[in-house]
Amino acid sequence: MTTAAAVDWFRSLLWTAVLASGPAVIATVVIGLVLAILQAATQVNDQSVAFAPKALGIVIALAAGGPFMLTEMIEFTHRIFAAMARL
């Protein structure tokens, strides 16, 4: 395996990780931003207020985006094993 091939596989690995974690991260960021604005507007600065909505948002994002994330990871795994078989 050449250095260029290793770098390409590493790039593919990172892109798959971004795609697989994207739905949960985006949901957390959006919910966190909305809650931060609401906490700033109401001057409620309790950290436990933001935990439950974020946790619920992550669960919903994982349930909704789970099949997509699993498909991306399975396809990447198939490509890795197919490349290992060619070595």
39 Cβ contact list (under 8 Å, min separation 6):
45, 46, 49, 50
10-45 pLDDT, tens per residue?
999 999 999 999 999 999 999 999 998 988 898 887
**What is the structure's pLDDT at 24?**
92
The percentage of residues in the chain with a pLDDT greater than 90, rounded to a whole number, is 67
Neighbours of 31 (CB within 10 A): 19
Average pLDDT over residues 62-80: 94
Alpha-carbon distance of 37 to 34, in angstroms, equals: 5
pTM of the model: 0.77
Residue 2 banded pLDDT, cuts 50, 70, 90: confident
3-class state of residue 52 by DSSP? helix
At 3, list the tokens.
């250095």
